[in-house]
Amino acid sequence: MSDKRQRARVQGSWAKPLQKPQQPSAQHVPSAAGSWKSAPRSFEFHQPADPIREIPVEKVIENAGDYEISQGPTGVSRLRLIPGFLPQEEADWMFSKLLAELPWSQKTNYRMMGDSIVNPVYEEPRLTCWYGELPYTYSRSAMQPNAQWHPVLTTLRLAVEQKSGHKFNSLLCNLYQDGKDSIGWHSDNEPSLGPKPIIASLSLGDTRVFSLRKQPLPEDKGDYTYVERIRIPLTHGTLLVMEGCTQVDWQHQVAKEYHDRGPRINLTFRTIYPEPERPSGRFVR
Ligand SMILES: O=C(O)CCC(=O)C(=O)O
């Protein structure tokens, strides 16, 4: 073990005082002048009983490709990153149309403590709108669907379906107005999305960092200190497809950034199942 590490993990005890010479050792004794002085003591190092755990180095994914990010009892988690999925000029034009023409609004959620709703409610730090046939419920509050898709969204849905090889019936649009807008750690694992949701996420506008962190082992009881982490800078026109167990075994977020960030739109294409048709499976929450 390196010295530095050993110092950081000091475990031990103050050694018992030597019998000779006779003097009070583990106590403070008043000096003649009335101030307090410590008696000399020594320290014994004991090797820590628990094995040392390394905090994994965060990985960065920025090149086009298919990435198997984990393989576990639940199955394989996969990402597909396609920077430049939309050519620059097309992406610029679509970004301004969607920014100006989508019915953006700020959703209010309920804070949960276990299964109970706790007041006060809070407003999401971003604007959203929802497209599809069915409402979308998360954080105990439902988004009503816009049944009439904006023509740009219809074009994008077809292009994303063609590229990814998956069909989608719904779309959550997020607008981050600046660096202070964000989305916290979560998985897209609502029962209405089925057991292993496939999510295709298209980014337009300023680059933001999309982070993933693995769900901790059951014995870590919700402690994320030692979990694997990945960061992906999502640039203008990039398509990211999350497949397999990514929504079961990982969480993701777009954190606040405290330097200048312009607006960014993120379109996440999903499939929502009406209750009677829902495929069964394991849900994390
Ligand atoms: O903005 C993003 O890239 C992520 C959005 C997201 O996590 C979500 O809509 O569930």
Cβ neighbours, 10 Å, residue 11 = 12
Report whether residue 183 contacts ligand 1, using a CB cutoff of 6 Å: yes
CA 74, CA 76: separation in Å to the nearest integer?
7
On the CB side of 152, CA atoms within 13 Å amount to 18
Angle between helices 88-101 and 151-164 (to 10 degrees): 130
Question: What is the reported pTM?
Answer: 0.80
Q: Which atom of ligand 1 is nearest to the CA of 264?
A: 1
Q: What is the largest CA-CA distance in the chain?
A: 91
Given this model, what pLDDT does residue 137 score?
84
Domain coordinates of the chain in residue numbers?
3-45, 59-277
Residues in CB range of 200: below 8 A, 6 or more apart: 160, 164, 166, 168, 239, 240, 241, 242, 268, 269
Query: What pLDDT digit, counting tens, does each position of 200-224 carry?
Result: 999 999 999 999 999 999 999 999 9
Q: Which residues of the chain have pLDDT under 70?
A: 1-40, 112-120, 276-285
Report whether residue 181 contacts ligand 1, using a CB cutoff of 6 Å: no
Query: What pLDDT digit, counting tens, does each position of 42-93 carry?
Result: 888 887 777 788 999 999 999 999 999 999 889 999 999 999 999 999 999 9
> Closest Cα to atom 1, ligand 1: which residue?
266
On the CB side of 281, CA atoms within 13 Å amount to 22
Given this model, what pLDDT does residue 284 score?
29
User: Which CATH code of 3.40.50.300, 3.30.420.480, 3.30.499.10, 2.60.120.590 fits the domain covering 59-277?
Assistant: 2.60.120.590
User: What is the distance in A from the centroid of ligand 1 to the CA of 170?
Assistant: 14
Cβ neighbours, 10 Å, residue 199 = 22
Report whether residue 170 contacts ligand 1, using a CB cutoff of 6 Å: no
> Closest Cα to atom 7, ligand 1: which residue?
253
> Closest Cα to atom 2, ligand 1: which residue?
266
Given this model, what pLDDT does residue 18 score?
57
Distances (CA, A) of 45 to 3, 9, 27, 48, 135: 12, 10, 21, 9, 61
